[in-house]
Amino acid sequence: GAVVSQHPSWVICKSGTSVKIECRSLDFQATTMFWYRQFPKQSLMLMATSNEGSKATYEQGVEKDKFLINHASLTLSTLTVTSAHPEDSSFYICSADIMGPGNTIYFGEGSWLTVV
Amino acid sequence: QKEVEQNSGPLSVPEGAIASLNCTYSDRGSQSFFWYRQYSGKSPELIMSIYSNGDKEDGRFTAQLNKASQYVSLLIRDSQPSDSATYLCAVYNTDKLIFGTGTRLQVFP
């Protein structure tokens, strides 16, 4: 079964509004979660690393004020796309790091965001 | 130079054949390597992880790692049409997972 759950799977929002995507680790605690964005026919682009209890680390070129990340607990990270625009329409995927012999990272199911 | 490089494909193989997918990486200090399968419109699914030089087999899948050459490969034996997908090579670098652009595999009956 899934070890990382993401919600919602699909969301349509109006331009200028904000939308929140949740990422939950199931049956394990994830001190680190990652947020990716994937445009059609392109690879996954890491947006930010979410650390429980501290500020997220954003990749170069990703606006931290537009993509708000909160990792308030060891099982939940949220990504809020603020003042969404049509160019923000994409597939957003979270992942969680299962620490152990060699890091293993599992992905959530992904969230399709369409901004109209 | 990209950190993780893959041929975008498509790689077309007949059903029952061996599909060979290749990946090179730039950071010689990388320690963990992964292959993910991604169907169109879906999230990546972990197929294999490999950490040591040599081969690692799991069912029809074999991952091969050569750290000296900075090269990772995935072999799929007895390829099935259901294997048709994009295969992503990923390298764990410092504290994050870096992906290649993926190789699209097409298995035809």
pLDDT value for A40: 85
**Rounded to an integer, what distance in angstroms lies between the CA atom of residue A17 and that of residue B11?**
41
Whole-number percent of chain B with pLDDT over 70? 98
Do the Cβ atoms of A79 and A23 come closer than 8 Å?
yes
Mean pLDDT, residues A50-79? 91
Chain A CB within 8 Å of residue B31 CB:
yes
pLDDT digits (tens, 9 = 90+) for B19-31: 999 999 999 988 8
pLDDT value for A1: 56
User: Over chain A, what is the mean pLDDT?
Assistant: 89
**Rounded to an integer, what distance in angstroms lies between the CA atom of residue A3 and that of residue A78?**
16
pLDDT value for B9: 87
Which SS3 state, helix, strand or coil, does residue A61 take? Answer: coil
User: Which pair of structure tokens corresponds to residue B37?
Assistant: 């399968």
* pLDDT exceeds cutoff 60 at A102: no
Model confidence band, residue A42 (pLDDT cutoffs 50, 70, 90): confident
Q: Which of B32, B43, B45, B53 is the best substitution to test chain A (most A C-beta atoms within 10 A)?
A: B43
When CB atoms are compared, the residue of B34, B51, B102 closest to A43 is B102
B19/chain A closest Cα distance in angstroms: 21
A92/chain B closest Cα distance in angstroms: 9
pLDDT value for A99: 59
pLDDT value for B79: 97
CA atoms within 13 A on the CB side of B73: 13
Mean pLDDT, residues A12-25? 96
Mean pLDDT, residues A69-86? 92
Higher pLDDT, residue B41 or A9? A9
Mean pLDDT, residues A103-111? 85
Residues of B in contact with A43 (CB under 8 A): 88, 99-102
Q: Kindly determine whether residue A49 and residue B95, on different chains, have CB atoms separated by under 8 Å.
A: yes
pLDDT digits (tens, 9 = 90+) for B54-84: 999 999 999 999 999 999 999 999 999 999 9
pLDDT value for A103: 61
pLDDT value for B54: 96
* pLDDT exceeds cutoff 90 at A71: no
pLDDT value for B1: 61
Angle at A26 between CA B35 and CA A4, to 5 degrees: 35
- What residue of A is the nearest CA neighbor of B45? A107
pLDDT value for A2: 59
* pLDDT exceeds cutoff 70 at A79: yes
When CB atoms are compared, the residue of A46, A49, A109 closest to B43 is A109
- What residue of A is the nearest CA neighbor of B91? A103
Residues of B in contact with A49 (CB under 8 A): 95-96
Higher pLDDT, residue B18 or B46? B18
pLDDT value for A52: 82
Q: Kindly determine whether residue B96 and residue A34, on different chains, have CB atoms separated by under 8 Å.
A: yes
**Rounded to an integer, what distance in angstroms lies between the CA atom of residue A56 and that of residue A62?**
12
